[in-house]
Amino acid sequence: IKVFSRCELAWKLKASRMDGYQGYSLANCKGLSKWSSAHNTAATNQNPDGSMNYDIFQVNSRCWCNIHQTRTPNGCGIFCSGE
């Protein structure tokens, strides 16, 4: 579990070459993570449809990750829990 400071996250994203990824700037990524998870890697939120959002960018279990309960498209090819 990690809660990033604003600047720490910016450096981490920049080091990971995320600035400009698919047209999104570091400012976009930092804004998304601030308002969706407060830069908290352990953030989770349940949606009305029963799916869950996970991690700093609130990756949704319905489409983007696998929660081991139902079949999902798993667009990112990852487990939601970070396994």
Instruction: Write down the pLDDT at residue 43.
Output: 92
| Higher per-residue confidence, 44 vs 62 | 44
DSSP for residue 50: S
User: Domain spanning 1-38: which CATH class is it, in words?
Assistant: mainly alpha
Task: Please determine, for residue 80, whether its predicted confidence score (pLDDT) is greater than 50.
Answer: yes
3-state secondary structure of 76: coil
Domain residue limits, the chain? 1-38, 43-82
Task: Please determine, for residue 77, whether its predicted confidence score (pLDDT) is greater than 80.
Answer: no
pTM of the model: 0.69
Instruction: Write down the pLDDT at residue 37.
Output: 92
Q: Tell me the average pLDDT across 6-22.
A: 87
DSSP characters over 4-47: --HHHHHHHHHHTT-TTBTTB-HHHHHHHHHHHHTTBTT-EEE-
Structure tokens at 10: 């910016």
State the pLDDT confidence band at 83, using cuts at 50, 70 and 90.
very low
For residue 82, which of 54, 63, 45, 52 has the smallest C-alpha distance? Answer: 54
